[in-house]
């Protein structure tokens, strides 16, 4: 094991917050949250999701930041550095690496779909077309292996290109401009959605829980998604935390990122479902939901061409800032543990992930009939991470923080001003979070 070279650090606290928010806010918020909410019947699912973010996600976010910053090391060594050399907890880090590879492999494919929609927007393929034609656009992409692989390559190439430049050069600067831009555009779309006739139904669907529509598998999906959307349970936040110099205000940072992430997901959900209920679409249509609803709205907006282009570009960027955090987990590990140069590592790992992603890209065409455990490769990569390795990793990180690092870590992390919060935080990490995950995993996996 070679010792870490002197580590880079975020240049300001704001740069770090934006990068962490960049990792959290991504396809999970704008694409995945609305469609899994639709498939799981709406309000009750959203309620479980919100409780999970507050009661489970937030404490684990704080724990990951603390572990990363204290250790100043990659996801595997972080557990050794904060515990002891050779600690068995390092296996949680290994599992995190596996999750990162799996997630990025299908994430990049969906990133590719978004790029295809950037292209469609640019070439004005929504305005003036019938709803049926617009709904068919994604189908055309799905049935074309070459097209899927092309966009997947472009997305993965972009991710690698940013990561190989290191922490500060591209990332910090772009995050600062584009993340707020995405938020503003979403708010503008929300402004439009509020005047659609379907808005009332959309808000009822999202915010009035109907417990009868919730299944155990749905609860597991909500728990899993709270990890996915906050980038938890696999070391992205540990890795980003390891580039933090001083220990100020970890708790506040975690709170702001979680709040922003949740707000963006709920806003995207409101916009998408108001379109769904206005045009009589199927709320439970699955992963195609965002790609079929929003272009219908864009096609009817004055200036819809520009709005559509801006929207898909910003979603591309949100996806990229998340994808780089996934690749960064692996690259940081490889560079530190094996002493390899960053550029070469990013290229090799990027190629590896691209290769795995091919299986997901072909899951809607050539390999659509190949099922493992009843799922296509795409669904399997998504489900094993969201419903298994992320919650499991998160629960173990929580136990590590609560029991191994213990009261001292909890006190350090909340700081002297909020000393009273140390015990509740520690007990949440020790018992509440792991127990919630364990119950849900056992019940949900049976229905899986
Ligand atoms: N949080 C990202 C999203 O919601 O799109 C996905 C993600 C990024 C998951 C980074 C895990 C991760 F480490």
The predicted pLDDT at position 2 comes to 40
The verdict on residue 333 lying in a domain is yes
Mutation choice for ligand 1 from 229, 257, 263, 316, CB with most ligand atoms inside 8 A: 229
Domains: count for the chain? 1
Q: How confident is the model at residue 121 (pLDDT cuts 50, 70, 90)?
A: very high
The predicted pLDDT at position 245 comes to 81
319 Cα nearest atom in ligand 1: 5
Q: 166-206 pLDDT, tens per residue?
A: 766 666 766 777 788 888 999 999 999 999 999 999 999 99
Q: 36-69 pLDDT, tens per residue?
A: 999 999 999 999 999 999 999 999 999 999 999 9
Instruction: Tell me the CA–centroid distance for residue 81 and ligand 1, in Å.
Output: 25
The candidate with the shortest Cα–Cα distance to 309, out of 174, 115, 112, 170, is 115
Q: 366-378 pLDDT, tens per residue?
A: 999 999 999 999 9
CATH code of the domain containing 111: 1.20.1740
Q: Report how far residue 51's alpha carbon sits from residue 61's, in angstroms, rounded to the nearest whole number.
A: 15
The verdict on residue 104 lying in a domain is yes
- Of all residues in the chain, the percent with pLDDT exceeding 70 is 96
The predicted pLDDT at position 1 comes to 38
- Of all residues in the chain, the percent with pLDDT exceeding 90 is 80
Instruction: Tell me the CA–centroid distance for residue 132 and ligand 1, in Å.
Output: 32
The verdict on residue 413 lying in a domain is no
Instruction: Tell me the CA–centroid distance for residue 280 and ligand 1, in Å.
Output: 31
Mean pLDDT, residues 117-122 taken together? 97
Across all residues in the chain, what is the average pLDDT? 92
Q: Under DSSP, is residue 375 helix (H, G, I), strand (E, B) or coil?
A: strand
Mean pLDDT, residues 358-370 taken together? 97
Q: Report how far residue 376's alpha carbon sits from residue 363's, in angstroms, rounded to the nearest whole number.
A: 6
The verdict on residue 418 lying in a domain is no
228 Cα nearest atom in ligand 1: 9
Q: 202-246 pLDDT, tens per residue?
A: 999 999 999 999 998 899 899 999 999 999 999 999 999 999 887
325 Cα nearest atom in ligand 1: 10
Instruction: Tell me the CA–centroid distance for residue 358 and ligand 1, in Å.
Output: 20
Q: Which residues contact 416 (CB under 8 A, 6 or more apart)?
A: none
Ranking 81-85, 244-248, 312-316 by mean pLDDT, the lowest is 244-248
Q: Looking at per-residue confidence, does 106 or 166 come out higher?
A: 106
Supply the Cα-derived Rg of the chain in whole angstroms.
21
Q: Looking at per-residue confidence, does 447 or 149 come out higher?
A: 149
The verdict on residue 410 lying in a domain is no
27 Cα nearest atom in ligand 1: 5
Q: 272-293 pLDDT, tens per residue?
A: 999 999 999 999 999 999 999 9
Q: Looking at per-residue confidence, does 131 or 248 come out higher?
A: 131
- What are the distances in angstroms from CA 391 to CA 26, 108, 197, 369? 19, 22, 38, 29
Backbone conformation region of residue 286, classed left if phi is above 0, alpha if psi is from -120 to 50, else beta:
left
The answer on pLDDT for 140 being more than 80 is yes
Q: Under DSSP, is residue 372 helix (H, G, I), strand (E, B) or coil?
A: strand
The answer on pLDDT for 74 being more than 60 is yes
Q: 330 near 234, Cβ under 8 Å?
A: no
The predicted pLDDT at position 326 comes to 97
The candidate with the shortest Cα–Cα distance to 131, out of 277, 299, 285, 283, is 299
The verdict on residue 80 lying in a domain is yes
Q: Give long-range contacts, CB 8 A cutoff, 24+ apart: 401-406.
A: 401/60, 401/63, 401/66, 401/67, 401/429, 402/63, 402/426, 402/427, 402/428, 402/429, 402/430, 402/431, 403/430, 404/82, 404/83, 404/89, 405/66, 405/67, 405/82, 405/83
The predicted pLDDT at position 380 comes to 95
Cα dihedral angle (282, 287, 293, 295), rounded to 10 degrees?
-150
The predicted pLDDT at position 247 comes to 63
Q: Report how far residue 334's alpha carbon sits from residue 74's, in angstroms, rounded to the nearest whole number.
A: 9
Instruction: Tell me the CA–centroid distance for residue 136 and ligand 1, in Å.
Output: 28
Q: Residues for the chain: how many in total?
A: 448
The predicted pLDDT at position 170 comes to 60
Q: What is the DSSP letter of 26?
A: S
The predicted pLDDT at position 3 comes to 40
Mutation choice for ligand 1 from 257, 326, 385, CB with most ligand atoms inside 8 A: 326
26 Cα nearest atom in ligand 1: 5
Ordered DSSP codes for 202-241 = HHHHHHS--GGG--HHHHHHHHHHHHHHTT-SSSHHHHHH
The candidate with the shortest Cα–Cα distance to 115, out of 154, 149, 144, is 154
Q: 334-352 pLDDT, tens per residue?
A: 999 999 999 999 999 999 9
Mutation choice for ligand 1 from 228, 268, 321, 387, CB with most ligand atoms inside 8 A: 228
Mutation choice for ligand 1 from 100, 322, 331, CB with most ligand atoms inside 8 A: 322
Q: Report how far residue 100's alpha carbon sits from residue 96's, in angstroms, rounded to the nearest whole number.
A: 6
The predicted pLDDT at position 158 comes to 94
The predicted pLDDT at position 35 comes to 97
Q: What residues does ligand 1 touch, defined as CB less than 6 Å away? A: 23-24, 26-29, 103, 228-229, 231, 234, 236, 322, 325-326
261 Cα nearest atom in ligand 1: 4
Mutation choice for ligand 1 from 221, 268, 325, CB with most ligand atoms inside 8 A: 325
- Atom 11 (ligand 1): residue with closest C-alpha? 231
Instruction: Tell me the CA–centroid distance for residue 360 and ligand 1, in Å.
Output: 17
The predicted pLDDT at position 6 comes to 63
Instruction: Tell me the CA–centroid distance for residue 240 and ligand 1, in Å.
Output: 13
The predicted pLDDT at position 447 comes to 65
Q: 274 near 199, Cβ under 8 Å?
A: yes
Number of alpha carbons in the 13 Å side-chain half-sphere of residue 112: 27
Q: How confident is the model at residue 448 (pLDDT cuts 50, 70, 90)?
A: low
Domain that holds residue 376: 13-397+429-446
The verdict on residue 402 lying in a domain is no
The verdict on residue 4 lying in a domain is no
235 Cα nearest atom in ligand 1: 13
Mean pLDDT, residues 387-415 taken together? 95
Q: How confident is the model at residue 15 (pLDDT cuts 50, 70, 90)?
A: confident
Instruction: Tell me the CA–centroid distance for residue 131 and ligand 1, in Å.
Output: 31
């Amino acid at each position: 094991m070679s010792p870490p070279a002197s580590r880079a650090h975020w240049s300001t606290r704001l740069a770090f917050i934006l990068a962490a928010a960049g990792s959290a806010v991504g396809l999970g918020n704008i694409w995945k949250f609305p469609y899994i909410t639709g498939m799981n019947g709406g309000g009750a699912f959203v309620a479980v999701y919100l409780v999970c973010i507050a009661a489970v996600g937030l404490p684990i976010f704080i724990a990951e930041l603390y572990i990363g910053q204290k250790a100043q090391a990659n996801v595997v060594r972080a557990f050794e550095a904060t515990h002891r050399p050779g600690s068995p907890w390092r296996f949680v880090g290994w599992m995190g690496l596996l999750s990162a590879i799996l997630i990025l492999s299908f994430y990049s494919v969906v990133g590719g779909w978004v790029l295809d929609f950037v292209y469609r927007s640019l070439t004005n393929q929504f305005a003036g077309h019938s709803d049926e034609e617009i709904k068919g656009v994604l189908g055309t992409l799905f049935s074309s292996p070459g097209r899927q692989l092309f966009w997947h390559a472009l997305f993965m190439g972009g991710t690698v290109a940013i990561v190989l430049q290191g922490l500060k050069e591209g990332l910090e600067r772009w995050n600062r401009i584009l993340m707020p831009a995405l938020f503003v555009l979403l708010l503008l779309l929300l402004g439009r959605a509020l005047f659609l006739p379907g808005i009332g139904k959309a808000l009822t669907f999202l915010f009035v829980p109907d417990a009868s529509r919730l299944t155990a598998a749905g609860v597991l999906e909500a728990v899993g998604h709270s990890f996915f959307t906050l980038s938890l349970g696999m070391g992205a936040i540990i890795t980003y935390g390891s580039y933090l110099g001083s220990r100020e205000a970890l708790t506040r940072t975690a709170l702001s990122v979680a709040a922003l992430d949740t707000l963006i997901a709920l806003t995207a959900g409101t916009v998408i479902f108001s379109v769904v209920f206005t045009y009589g679409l199927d709320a439970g249509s699955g992963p195609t939901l965002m790609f079929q609803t929003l272009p219908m709205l864009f096609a009817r907006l004055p200036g819809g061409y520009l709005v559509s282009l801006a929207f898909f570009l910003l979603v591309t960027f949100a996806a990229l800032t998340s994808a780089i955090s996934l690749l960064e987990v692996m690259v940081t590990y490889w560079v530190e543990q094996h002493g390899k140069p960053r550029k070469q590592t990013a290229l090799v790992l990027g190629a590896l992930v691209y290769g795995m992603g091919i299986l997901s890209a072909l899951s809607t065409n050539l390999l659509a009939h190949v099922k493992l455990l009843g799922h296509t490769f795409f669904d399997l990569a998504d489900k094993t991470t969201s419903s298994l390795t992320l919650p499991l990793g998160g629960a173990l990180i929580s136990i590590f923080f609560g029991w191994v690092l213990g009261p001292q870590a909890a006190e350090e992390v909340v700081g002297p001003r909020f000393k009273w919060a140390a015990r509740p935080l520690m007990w949440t990490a020790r018992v509440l979070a792991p127990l919630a995950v364990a119950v849900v995993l056992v019940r949900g996996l049976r229905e899986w």
